[in-house]
Structure 1
């Protein structure tokens, strides 16, 4: 299960609070069940009677309707049901009082490796038989963490009147919560949380549970209850702990007539998206609250001063609640506060020092955990940071903090976690960090530190286990040098180290070899080139190593394949100079292998699925692998990411890839694959990204690509192949598609009019963007660009360089989220769609090299994001539209070879324009007088030259003068005759 669920159940604070509540609740239970391990065993009991026969038969009937794949209930044989697994009886009467069938397989925390298949195998399922009604003395029933596949909670549970504890959490129950549960008047604990298909129309049945002290409805859909949920829950006067996280509650009523929840200690209403215009006053009257979690909501109301009423508050979580402005000063009055999380809000940049002063108002400040991560804070860390003596966890990551770490950081003697990652901090790292002898987790990554890290920074960190420092590999290396004396032996044993794009001194390698208990190692971009040192160190590594990242270094030669890492899960050797055959380890634990951008050669081993049966991610792009793609994939059915692009692979695409039912990303681009796309790929029903571009594939585009089997596709690239035929109408069924590239093929026919069915390009309600990081090469803005993390933000349709005919469908103007549209190098005719300006996010538009005609639509001028436009080599006519954005695109090649186009920026004037192109008003003001002056000077000079060049010569030279007049005398008769003939023709034509 994901991290959110893991944190919910395994957060130490949650466990301690829940334990407290259960302990308090147990004081209200009859003495026969205070000891949950052996319910109902009096201290004077000497004889344990056998269980009641009727109850034994009931349990047998219950078991018969269950599905038990792991055989957990195999002990349910014989006559003494009190000895069966999960069953406890009252030692005096023999009645069954406890049934604990919670899944015993450990649920994951953030550090443990978890086998989902093993967990599922341990789940009970099937149906719940009504024979349980015979267990009339049952006080404790736990079916949590099982898999009942959406069945309803049995209504007959409401007849188990003795129940005091009912836990059905995370057991996959569905449907409506039966109101009959309101009959359980003795119930103290009710946990229905994490049943994602469970809902309730109203909670009025709760009013009968007057003894209820613990209620968990996390992830139960309460949207149908409106605001009534609060009035119903307010009827529980004994309630101590209330969990309503992720219940789709949309609002909180502003007031309640009478507040009965006066004993409430814990209130969790996180992750509901609650919006409010003003503060609900009744919540702030719950003065006994010790824990309040309102995180991941959307409050628009200002932070209320009524928070000062929570004098007993120890845990406050307001992360991701839309808070703005200054960090609230009123928090400084909560002197019992131990845990405070305000992360993912938008506070004013420089309020952190004032906040520090406010929390120091309490003479005996008890704050132990402070999370201000991702709050847009912009300031230096104040020196007053050292005043919080009890602080154990400090997270300031993801802000805009600058400057260095103050020396006073060394006064936080209780600090266990310090996270300053993803800020703009610089300067040297103070040696006072070395005074934090309780420090376990230190993350200084993604800041631009300077200076040298020496043993003085680590000398007293005897408990340090996690250390991270560095910046993106794409950035210039930091001037920070990690160098310690080669004779120094550190007092700690790290479990995780990450050094990225830093410089390391010679003493670093000696220091590193002392760290023999590492689980996670990231040494990325630090210039490792000494293969012998690396191999020597790896040989000493503990067998518990799980994550090894040596990417972006200068490793060369063969990577040692004889090394054994029995627990290694993640290997990243990408962006080095490694060569030789495919490095293959026999490992059942490896799930991710990154070998891209090296010089590996030879075939990809066909035994890869056998050697690494749990492999999920395989990336070998940009190497020199050759031969055919392996055909034996049946063993590696768990693969969901497969990238062999940019190699020299040949042959047909193996049909056996169709057995990879979990496959989400398949990239075979830039190889020499031939043949057709195998139909077996339609069996990969989870496929989201398919890139077969730059190969030699031929035939028609298969119709199944637009079928229901692969309906999750968000990216389809088939560019630079030899595909023929029409573009299938079925592609319009891919509602999540936002990258479609069929360019550079031999496709014919027309562009489908149904492209506006691609809803991910029409509205933002698509789930198409739920993808991980993936690299792709796309033609955008007139050039091939490589996209990585930002791929999820790209929206593109490229049908260029085909043989498409007909008109551009008007429906294409409905794709308002489209960023790139390239239809160039086809045989398209007709006009450009008049509503092309609807594509307001368009950055690239290329219709060049077609037979388009008509005017360029005026709406084109409204595209304010347009940075690349090409309409050349068409038959467009008329004036080029004017617009502020179009005027920035003054490259004449945009419109070339459209001889009937006119207007700016072309030199061709349109009909009605002035003889000379009008100048800008500023140009007229600046240059008008200057032009007039030169005009008059030119006229005068021309007159002088003309007059004296001709007339002056005739006056001065007599022989030229006689010849001149004789010439005119000879031609006068000819001129008169010519004028007469022209006059005659004129009359005949017009009269």
Structure 2
């Protein structure tokens, strides 16, 4: 046995490499950069090699001629190479071959190429240019237990290949995206355990004649009508059921809640109506529940809280309402909580940041949540946070700079769930002004996002956000934020999207923004920013002036405003504004004095003219005051005369 996978090996293999190791039975050279394997064996001596893995390299078909000499070969994996055209001649004569993997090449395979492979049990020809249905009477020389031929790119198959009738031992069958338009025939082997028929145009009813089936994928077809309540009874071993992107209607039968083996249920993008069933008591193994993009109403069922193993919950794009039930805090294994685009109300619960410690994705966008943002920085794995389009108020918590999963650059991960299951995770994220559908865990694992746009947030942007060195998208647009753009923003080295538009930010644009080498989407429009736009590095690539529109005191490229002229104009406008303000104050002062005099004069004189008794009283009082004043003055003058 010789295992050299994942070693960045390049070039050709040494000539006669198998002659040098006559007892070698297992050779794994996968995930390298090998370009040639010609002349692996030259002198005709028999080789003991039984398993050869050359997948994920850079091979092409002309170098595989010598494989025909490997008479003992039982397993051959050539997936994800650069093979083109017809099947290499050497492979056609490997009569003892039981395992053949040609996944993701550009081969054009025909029935004739498989005539001699009578021992074949496993065949993967998916993602090629293959068509195996030239004649209805062709009888394969083999009896397969696994056939993968999904996403074949040439000549669609409007019907299920008739030769599949002979494959009575089939356990796994993948015909995804092959152009099939008919109903699922009942002659398919009843012993099937894995059946993948997604991305076709299959019509009719959902099959119920596979008692051993574990995985059934029927997504993106033309199934219609109501969901069958008997499906989980007729397929008791079902673990994964994907019926998303069809035209199913009606309510969700209670039987779907009661299947104890079901781990993944996907019914998204249909026309299902009614409420979320209140029957999730026996679904103890359910890991993923996706009911998004339907017409469901009512609140979140309390029995969902019984799903203690649940790791992904998608209820977005429905008409659900009410608050988030408090009991959902018991679903402590959740990695994804997606409740966006509904009518949920109330505050965002504080227990989300205290109990759901495995949470990686939290989307509550486009609801009616209000109040302040709770502390969420205790969530060590949170990478995607979308609270946009709500009624949230208050300030952005300073603790947002403490998300540990955002402090370093993201890395690709094979699995998104806590138990390392290989289920793909589907998710709609709003990035760069449009929604993007993520269909693989690898895509989700590499993206990091904070979106607080279109709320009523106030205060300044916390300097602590600069600690998020791994954040790729930050959207704070459509709020009432004030102050300056924090200079610490240059710490977000992975930032690709920055949207601070439609706020009340002021001051200069930090020069550190030009050091963000990955930035490719920027919007600072409709603020009160001033000064010259920084130049150099990444900012030089932003030539669209609309990203700065609505900031009258910004100048420099790409705006047509010259900074020198702009500064002089700003000073002149300020002086004119002060002069105008001074004139208005003087005018208001004189106007007030005049109005006061007129009002006081007529209040006194008008009263005396209109009331005779008031006039007599007034003038008598004046006479008395004059008499008293005369007496006081006469006495005072007399005293001074005596002293003299």
TM-score class, shorter-chain normalisation, is 0.7 to 0.9
Aligned to 2:270: 623
Contact 2:44 2:69 in 1 (8 A): no
Q: Match for 1:499 among 130, 149, 160?
A: 149
1:794 paired with 2:447, answer yes
Query: Hey, what's the Cα distance between the residues in 2 that align with 1:323 and 1:489?
Result: 41
Once the two structures are superposed, residues 930-975 of structure 1 have per-residue CA deviations (whole angstroms, 9 ceiling, x without a partner) of: xxxxxxxxxxxxxxxxxxxxxxxxxxxxxxxxxxxxxxxxxxxxxx
Q: Match for 1:783 among 430, 434, 445?
A: 434
**How far does residue 582 in structure 1 lie from its aligned partner after superposition?**
1.1
SS of 1:876's equivalent in the other structure is strand
Aligned to 1:299: none
SS of 1:618's equivalent in the other structure is strand
1:649 paired with 2:258, answer no
In the TM superposition, 1:490-529 aligns within 5 A as 490-502=140-152, 503=155, 509-529=161-181
TM-score (norm: length of structure 1): 0.53
Q: Match for 1:751 among 396, 399, 403?
A: 396
Contact 1:688 1:715 in 2 (8 A): yes
Contact 2:7 2:31 in 1 (8 A): yes
1:815 paired with 2:468, answer yes
**How far does residue 512 in structure 1 lie from its aligned partner after superposition?**
2.7
TM-score (norm: length of structure 2): 0.81
Q: Match for 2:36 among 347, 351, 367?
A: 351
Aligned to 1:483: 133
Aligned to 1:78: none
Aligned to 2:239: 591
Query: Hey, what's the Cα distance between the residues in 2 that align with 1:839 and 1:744?
Result: 24
**How far does residue 670 in structure 1 lie from its aligned partner after superposition?**
0.6
Distance 1:486 1:329, change over 3 A: closer
**How far does residue 764 in structure 1 lie from its aligned partner after superposition?**
5.3
- Between stretches 809-818 and 320-329, larger displacement belongs to 320-329
**How far does residue 593 in structure 1 lie from its aligned partner after superposition?**
0.9
Distance 1:767 1:661, change over 3 A: farther
Query: Hey, what's the Cα distance between the residues in 2 that align with 1:786 and 1:827?
Result: 30
Q: Match for 1:723 among 345, 366, 369?
A: 369
In the TM superposition, 1:426-465 aligns within 5 A as 426-427=107-108, 429=110, 431-447=112-128, 449=129
Query: Hey, what's the Cα distance between the residues in 1 that align with 2:397 and 2:47?
Result: 68
Once the two structures are superposed, residues 571-598 of structure 1 have per-residue CA deviations (whole angstroms, 9 ceiling, x without a partner) of: 1121112111112311321111111111
**How far does residue 324 in structure 1 lie from its aligned partner after superposition?**
4.7
Q: Match for 1:908 among 540, 561, 565?
A: 561
**How far does residue 378 in structure 1 lie from its aligned partner after superposition?**
5.7
Once the two structures are superposed, residues 424-477 of structure 1 have per-residue CA deviations (whole angstroms, 9 ceiling, x without a partner) of: x33555834322333332322222x3xxxxxxxxxxxxxxxxxxxxxxxxxxxx
1:826 paired with 2:440, answer no
Contact 2:124 2:149 in 1 (8 A): no
1:662 paired with 2:309, answer yes
In the TM superposition, 1:491-890 aligns within 5 A as 491-502=141-152, 503=155, 509-531=161-183, 534=184, 537-538=185-186, 540-559=187-206, 563-584=208-229, 585=231, 586=233, 587-610=235-258, 612-707=259-354, 709-729=355-375, 731-763=376-408, 770-771=415-416, 772-789=423-440, 790-890=443-543
Contact 2:195 2:216 in 1 (8 A): yes
**How far does residue 326 in structure 1 lie from its aligned partner after superposition?**
4.5
> Which structure 1 segments of 5+ residues have no match?
1-314, 450-479, 916-991
The count of residues paired between Structure 1 and Structure 2 equals 555
Contact 1:332 1:361 in 2 (8 A): no
Distance 1:892 1:714, change over 3 A: same
- Between stretches 317-326 and 686-695, larger displacement belongs to 317-326
**How far does residue 700 in structure 1 lie from its aligned partner after superposition?**
0.7
Once the two structures are superposed, residues 583-640 of structure 1 have per-residue CA deviations (whole angstroms, 9 ceiling, x without a partner) of: 2311321111111111111111123223x22111001001111111101111112111
Distance 1:874 1:505, change over 3 A: closer
Contact 2:40 2:66 in 1 (8 A): no
Distance 1:394 1:548, change over 3 A: closer
Contact 1:778 1:785 in 2 (8 A): yes
Once the two structures are superposed, residues 757-813 of structure 1 have per-residue CA deviations (whole angstroms, 9 ceiling, x without a partner) of: 211111259998731422212111122222211222211100000011111111111
> Which structure 2 segments of 5+ residues have no match?
417-422, 569-644
Distance 1:766 1:335, change over 3 A: closer
**How far does residue 505 in structure 1 lie from its aligned partner after superposition?**
5.7
